[in-house]
Amino acid sequence: MEEKLEKKVVMARRVARRWVASIAAPEYRLRILYGAREIRQLPNLLRSFRDGKVAMEGVSALPDMGIKEHFDALEVWSRNREALAKLQGWFETRGFETSGVW
């Protein structure tokens, strides 16, 4: 009886492992530091960019981009590392400090 239960547990773990592996994907993050800049509408700008309402020069669309506001920074994440690196460059050319893509 215990042997059957043990086999079922092993099989359930295999199925769960395959399911997680099939949907898992790497996620990359970028932090944009405010510093001395007073930018109040930056989160709204990035949400509009994500939704396709605004274009940013040289940066491709990031429809899966997440945005989180912090006291001193704005955190952005996506599965598209290359586009996130271009977004980092876009902000750095405009004088923002970033954490780099990690």
Interval 49-76: pLDDT, tens:
999 999 988 888 889 999 999 988 899 9
Distance, CA of 46 to CA of 56 (rounded, Å): 9
Distance, CA of 20 to CA of 49 (rounded, Å): 30
* Bridge partner list, 69: 74
Q: Is residue 50 part of a domain?
A: yes
Q: Is residue 3 part of a domain?
A: no
- Residue 14's pLDDT is 94
Instruction: Quick: pLDDT tens for 69-88.
Output: 998 889 999 999 999 999 99
Tell me which residue range forms the domain holding 42.
26-98
- Strand bridging mode 97-98 / 28-33: antiparallel
Average pLDDT of the residues in 22-35? 89
Average pLDDT of the residues in 15-24? 91
Structural domain tally of the chain? Answer: 1
Q: Is residue 74 part of a domain?
A: yes
Q: What is the pTM of this model?
A: 0.75
Q: Is residue 13 part of a domain?
A: no
Q: Is residue 87 part of a domain?
A: yes
- Residue 95's pLDDT is 87
